Amino acid sequence: MLFNSIDFALFLPIVFVLYWFVFQKNLRIQNLLIVVASYVFYGWWDWRFLSLVLFSTLVDFTSGLLLRKEQNPARRKALLTVSIIVNLGFLGFFKYYNFFLDNFIAAFTFMGYPLSARSLNIILPVGISFYTFQTLSYTLDVYRRKLQPTTDFVAFAAFVSFFPQLVAGPIERATNLLPQFYNRRTFDYSQAVDGLRQILWGLFKKMVVADNCATLANQIFDSPEHFNGSTLVLGAIFFAFQIYGDFSGYSDIAIGTSRLFGFSLMRNFAFPYFSRDMAEFWRRWHISLSTWFRDYLYIPLGGSRGGTWMKIRNTFIIFVVSGFWHGANWTFVAWGALNALYFLPLLLNNQNRNHLETVAQGRVWPTLKELLQVLFTFGLTLVAWVFFRAENIQHALIYLEGIASPSLFAFPHFRGMQKAMTTLAYLAFFIWMEWLGRENQYATEKLGLNWSRPWRYAFYYFLIAAIVWYGGDEQQFIYFQF
């Protein structure tokens, strides 16, 4: 079920009314309602894959109970290993089986030993990368004794399947979200209104910014050899805002929807395109995944505590694995490796924590130095996004070769130029709103709160009108494929 669909517009009020007005006095029934609603939400796409969510829930719930009773270190490690193998095994089969098979055949064919094997027609279950990592974090934290295992299966099932963030995150930690299912929730009007504001801004990001940018980015990326360098740069910019508006828009809707039910989810984006270097960018982009890899992979590998070689090794591992998490294609591996190359000079020169505060904090305008840093960092991300968006490595190299040609200095020209100019106007408004709200949790969190009611509501109705009238062709959320 898509957030930007009529189905969800009907689904959400029904669940809200049942949750607060019918079952508000019984915590366990409220949690059970969340489980049922979440399974309906996920099953709306394909009910057959509900068994995977249920199986993952059972595996990690049982692992937690067994780890609770087991004190022997070797047996505890064995239980953890079983949980990891089962979870990553399902993820690997659905997401990477054909990738490894095709590359295995290609490698042997290259060496003169052609093989014949049939690929499987596998449908990738929506959100499997997200809920797999979420349940794994529970087992890992229980194993590390950072979290007491739960004996409440309904609460745990609600934690795993919580519908606002089930399909595309944020990837929640059990230490944050699971305890919220143990405590009685009371309706908070101000929290709910704040949630609605964030949902509205998320829908604007998705439907006005991302969906309009998607049409133009697709047109340019589909045949880069037909466009001059400046048009290709424009296409990369459109994709950059497509993926940001799409993914951060989903996170805004997820976080805002959670607030309607009395839950607090972790922040997933913190205005990453205003970053002054790549280290700051990765502290602000897809925060739930970045911190997951940091805590469960980078630090266990030794983090930055070792010598230069260990720092280089660990940095490449975390970025390449992060790239591979996104999809079974060498383009994602290249995207991760390129980001590692961006990040390494900052790490090795101890400059990776230079910019911990928000750019131009407490000021309206950035300094010239800050502006140049932001533009340079954004330029680096554009190059990396080309690999992320490309169909294969050759496609990415053709695209970048076109950008590097003398036609880079020609005026952009393609069939969708009129729509491109309109979309650039949307982007200008969007960037200005993001800049004004960059010190808040989301752009419109505090915007207009001090205005008189007519002006405040006029602004909200303006956003609604923009969504209705200027929303682009409906596009599936990008991260559903991951």
Give burial (CB, 10 Å; 0-12/13-18/19+) of 234: buried
pLDDT at 113: 67
pLDDT digits (tens, 9 = 90+) for 217-232: 999 999 999 999 999 9
Long-range contacts of 24-28, Cβ-Cβ distance < 8 Å, separation of 24 or more = 24/187, 27/183, 27/184, 27/185, 28/154
Res. 16: pLDDT tops 90: yes
403 contact partners, CB below 8 Å, separation of at least 6: 229, 232, 233, 236
pLDDT band at 116 (very low <50, low <70, confident <90, very high): low
Q: Of all residues in the chain, what percent carry a pLDDT higher than 90?
A: 72
Long-range contacts of 345-350, Cβ-Cβ distance < 8 Å, separation of 24 or more = 346/277, 346/278, 346/279, 347/279, 347/304, 347/311, 347/315, 348/308, 348/311, 348/312
pLDDT digits (tens, 9 = 90+) for 395-417: 999 999 999 999 999 888 888 88
pLDDT digits (tens, 9 = 90+) for 344-372: 999 999 998 899 999 999 999 999 999 99
Lowest mean pLDDT among 34-48, 178-192, 462-476: 462-476
CA distance 304 to 451: 48
Interval 455-462 mean pLDDT: 91
Q: How many CB atoms lie within 10 A of CB 226?
A: 13
pLDDT digits (tens, 9 = 90+) for 202-212: 999 999 999 99
CA distance 371 to 275: 10
Res. 124: pLDDT tops 90: no
CA distance 292 to 325: 12
pLDDT digits (tens, 9 = 90+) for 249-269: 999 999 999 999 999 999 999
pTM score: 0.93
Q: How many CB atoms lie within 10 A of CB 191?
A: 17
Taking a C-beta distance cutoff of 8 angstroms, is the pair 458, 148 a contact? Answer: no
Taking a C-beta distance cutoff of 8 angstroms, is the pair 273, 313 a contact? Answer: no
Q: Catalytic residue positions?
A: 326
- One-letter-per-residue 3-state SS of the chain: CCCCCHHHHHHHHHHHHHHHHHCCCCHHHHHHHHHHHHHHHHHHHHHHHHHHHHHHHHHHHHHHHHHHHCCCHHHHHHHHHHHHHHHHHHHHHHHHHHHHHHHHHHHHHHCCCCCCCCCCCCCCCCCHHHHHHHHHHHHHHHHCCCCCCCCCHHHHHHHHHCCCCCCCCCCCCHHHHHHHHCCCCCCCHHHHHHHHHHHHHHHHHHHHHHHHHHHHHHHHHHCHHHCCHHHHHHHHHHHHHHHHHHHHHHHHHHHHHHHHCCCCCCCCCCCHHHCCCHHHHHHHCCHHHHHHHHHHHHCCCCCCCCCHHHHHHHHHHHHHHHHHHHCCCHHHHHHHHHHHHHHHHHHHCCCCCCCCCCCCCCCCCCCHHHHHHHHHHHHHHHHHHHHHHCCCHHHHHHHHHHHCCHHHHCCCCCCCHHHHHHHHHHHHHHHHHHHHCCCCCCCCCCCCCCCCHHHHHHHHHHHHHHHHHHCCCCCCCHHHHC
pLDDT at 118: 66
Lowest mean pLDDT among 144-148, 260-264, 281-285, 324-328: 324-328
pLDDT at 133: 92
CA distance 370 to 354: 13
List the Cα angle 24/26/28 in 5-degree steps: 120
Which amino acid, one-letter code, is at 110? F
Res. 89: pLDDT tops 70: yes
